[in-house]
Structure 1
Amino acid sequence: RINTKSSFQRYDVILLLNGLPLVQIELKTLQVSPRKAMQQIVDYKNDPGNGYTNSLLCFMQLFIVSNRSNTWYFANNTSEHFRFDADEHFLPLYQWAAPDNKKITHLDDFAEAFLAKCTLAEMISRYTVLIQSERKLMMMRPYQIYAVQAIVDCIQQNRGNGYIWHTTGSGKTLTSFKASTLLKDNPDIEKCLFVVDRKDLDRQTRQEFNRFQPGCVEENTNTET
C-alpha cells in the first residue's frame, strides 16, 4: 500500500529494477475485462496526492494489465498523453508477440517472454523512445523491436544488405531512428547515412527524427559532401 497525505491505494504487483519501481501490474479475474484495470490505473493517477508524484512511483515507466487470458502493456506518461478515448480504448496499447508475429496474450506465456530480467530491462532502456519535443514516452511495437535487432545484428556480423518492408504508418521511421541510435554504440560506426530518392521523404524523415530528438540529424543537399 502507498500512503500519501490524501491517497491510500493498494497496487497488485510492482516490479523493481535495480531498486527502483519501474513496472506496475494490475490483475483481474478471467471474467473481468483488462480495460477495468486500465481505468483503475487512470483513476490512481488522477487521485489527488497520488503516489506517482509524491513517492518513488514517479520513476514508473511501464504498466501491464491482465485478466490472465488477455495481457496488455503501455507506457506511463503525463496526463496529457494518458487517457481513454470515447470508445474506451487506451492508446497507445500493445500486446506482445513472437518473432513470427503470433500474439502472446496469456499471462503465464507473457511473463516468461516479456518479464525475463534482461528482456524487461531492454524494453525499458533500449526500446522505449522519449519523444523529447512532446515529453512523451512511447513503447516500440514487437515487430519494430525485431526489425531493429535484425538490423543491428546484420551490421555487427557484417552480413551484407537487407530490407524491411511495411505499410504506411507502421513506424518505419521510428525503427530506423532507433536502429541508428543503437548503432552509435558501435565504435566501428562513425556515422549513419540516410539516402532518399525525393525531397518530401527527406523532409519527412528529418522532421520525425528531430521530433524524437531535436538536432539529431543533419541535412545535406550536396551529394559530394
Structure 2
Amino acid sequence: MNPDETLYFANPGEEGKFNPDYYFHWADFDNEPIKNWKDISDTLLSIPMAHQLIGYYTIPDSTDNVLKVMRSYQYFAANEISDRVAQMNWQGKDARGGYVWHTTGSGKTMTSFKSAQLIASSGDADKVVFLIDRIELGTQSLGEFKGFADNEDDVQGTESTRVLITKLKSDLSSDTLIVTSIQKMSNIKEDGAKQSDIDTIQSKRIVFIVDEAHLLDKEMLEEVRFLLNFKMDAESPMTLILVGQSELWDKLQLQAYAAIRQRIDLQCKLPHLDRSQVGEYIQRHLAYAGADHDIFTDSAVDEIFKFSSGTARLINKVCTHCLLYGAQNGKRIIDDHMVKLVIQGELT
C-alpha cells in the first residue's frame, strides 16, 4: 500500500487474516474516491466521524449474521435524509419530500432502513412508515427490515387497517417503525375510522418511505402524494421519501408527474460502481460463495464493467451466465474472450 492508494477494510477475514476481498475505497459526498492517507485521516478517521460510522452506520444483518458497515455513498445519503428531517418545520404549510434512486443491489433498502432508524432514534419524527404497493413485497420488505433491526420487535407489521390505525395512534417506542401497504393507509377513512382516531394520527409527525417506488403507476403515485395532504387543509405534518430504481428518476421528469416533482426537496442518487468497485464486488460475492481462487481475470472484469456500466443487476447477470458457461465447458478461469462470447450469444 502506498500513501496515495489508501484503502479501508470492514472485515479482516477469518482468523484475523487480512482478506483483500474486504478492502474498499472511501469516497466523499460526490462519490469521488479519497485515496490520500492524510485526507482519509482528516475525514473517515476523524472524531466524531469514526465514532459515528461505527456507532450509527453499521447494520447487524441477521440474514447472513454479518455486521455490515455502510459504504460511503450509503452513509452520506442516510445522513443527509435524517438531517433534513431534523431541520423540518412540522408546523409549516408546505411539507416536502425527497427520493433515493439507483438499480437493484445498490443498497437502497438498507439505506432507507438506516435513514428510518436514525430518524426514529433521534425523536425527530413520531412515526416512520414504510409503504409497499403489493402484499408479497410487503412481506418481503418486513422480513428484510426485521433482519436489519437490532431487535425484530423494533419493526412492526400490520395485519389489517385496524391494526395500522392502532399502531399509528400508539405512543409506544416499539410502534415507531411500521411496515404497511399503500392500500391499508388509503383505507383508513373508508374503513370507518373514528374522527378521534384520525385526529390523533394527524397530530403526529410522520415520515413515509415508499420502497420500490419505480413500480408504481401514475394513479398509485398520486395516491401516495395525497398522503402528504392527509390533514385535508393547508397544513401537513407529514413528509414523503420515494425509494426506487433508475426508472423512478425518468418517471418523475415527465410532465404528468409535475405535481409530485414539485413536492420534492431532496434527491439522493446511489452511484454506479466504478471499475475497481466492480472487481471488488465480484470478488466479495465469490468469496462469500466459497470460491478459493480468482475466477475472473482482470481483462474479464474489464469486459463486465464495459457491459454493465457498473450496474449491480447487470454485473450479477453477466457473471451468472459466465459461471454457468464455464461450468458447462469445464473452465476454472473466466477470461475476457469467454465474457464476450456470453454477452454476444446470450445477453444481446
TM-score, normalising length: structure 2: 0.41
Instruction: Work out the percentage of aligned pairs sharing the same amino acid.
Output: 35
Name the SS for the 2:97 alignment partner: coil
Q: 2:126 aligns with which of 183, 190, 212?
A: 190
**CA offset at residue 171 of structure 1?**
0.7
Which position in structure 2 is the counterpart of 1:71? 6
Larger radius of gyration: 2
**CA offset at residue 78 of structure 1?**
7.0
Which position in structure 2 is the counterpart of 1:171? 107
Q: What is the CA deviation profile of residues 111-141 of structure 1, one whole-angstrom value per residue up to 9, with x for unaligned ones? A: 1121111111111111122224544221101
**CA offset at residue 102 of structure 1?**
0.7
Which position in structure 2 is the counterpart of 1:117? 47
- Runs (4 or more) in structure 1 with deviation over 6 Å come to 80-83
Go from structure 1 to structure 2 and tell me whether the alpha carbon gap of 1:109 and 1:186 turns closer, same or farther (over 3 Å shift). Answer: closer
1:216 aligns with 2:154: yes
**CA offset at residue 146 of structure 1?**
0.9
1:48-127 matches, within 5 Å, as: 67-76=2-11, 79=14, 84=19, 89-91=20-22, 93-127=23-57
Structure 1: distance between partners of 2:63 and 2:106? 21
Go from structure 1 to structure 2 and tell me whether the alpha carbon gap of 1:196 and 1:186 turns closer, same or farther (over 3 Å shift). Answer: same
TM-score, normalising length: structure 1: 0.61
Name the SS for the 2:158 alignment partner: coil
2:85 and 2:124 in contact (8 A); partners too = no
Structure 1: distance between partners of 2:16 and 2:65? 9
Q: What is the CA deviation profile of residues 133-180 of structure 1, one whole-angstrom value per residue up to 9, with x for unaligned ones? A: 544221101111111111112211116211111111011111111111
Residue-pair matches, total: 155
Go from structure 1 to structure 2 and tell me whether the alpha carbon gap of 1:195 and 1:120 turns closer, same or farther (over 3 Å shift). Answer: same
1:130 and 1:138 in contact (8 A); partners too = yes
1:73 and 1:95 in contact (8 A); partners too = yes
Q: What is the CA deviation profile of residues 84-121 of structure 1, one whole-angstrom value per residue up to 9, with x for unaligned ones? A: 4xxxx413x32111111111011122111211111111
More helix by share: 2
Q: 1:138 aligns with which of 40, 50, 68?
A: 68
Amino acid at match of 2:131: V
2:59 and 2:148 in contact (8 A); partners too = yes
Name the SS for the 2:60 alignment partner: strand
Which position in structure 1 is the counterpart of 2:294? none
Structure 2: distance between partners of 1:94 and 1:200? 35
Which position in structure 1 is the counterpart of 2:203? none
Go from structure 1 to structure 2 and tell me whether the alpha carbon gap of 1:157 and 1:81 turns closer, same or farther (over 3 Å shift). Answer: farther
Amino acid at match of 1:150: E
1:72 and 1:95 in contact (8 A); partners too = yes
Amino acid at match of 2:83: D
1:76 and 1:82 in contact (8 A); partners too = no
Bigger relative contact order (CA 8 A; separation at least 6): 2
Amino acid at match of 1:193: V
Structure 2: distance between partners of 1:216 and 1:81? 33
